Amino acid sequence: MKTGDIWLAHLDQIRTLDRVRLVKRLGALRQATLAATLQTLQAMFAP
C-alpha cells in the first residue's frame, strides 16, 4: 500500500479480529473517519 491509496470497508461485513490474527498494521484512520464509522455502526445496530 502506498500513501494516498483509498480503502473501502463495507460496514455490514466487518468481522471481529483478534490481535493474534493480525500480521501487520497497514495504517490508522483519521479521527474524522473513525468518528463517522462509529456513528454509522451505532445507527446500524441501534434497537
**First vs last Cα of the chain: how many Å apart?**
38
Neighbours of 37 (CB within 10 A): 14
Q: What is the DSSP string of 18-42?
A: -GGG---------HHHHHHHHHHHH
CA atoms within 13 A on the CB side of 14: 13
Distance of CA 46 to the CA centre of its chain: 18
| pTM of structure | 0.53
The phi, psi pair for 24, rounded to 5°, reads: -150, 155
pLDDT(1) > 70:
no
pLDDT(36) > 80:
yes
What is the predicted pLDDT for the residue at 31? 93
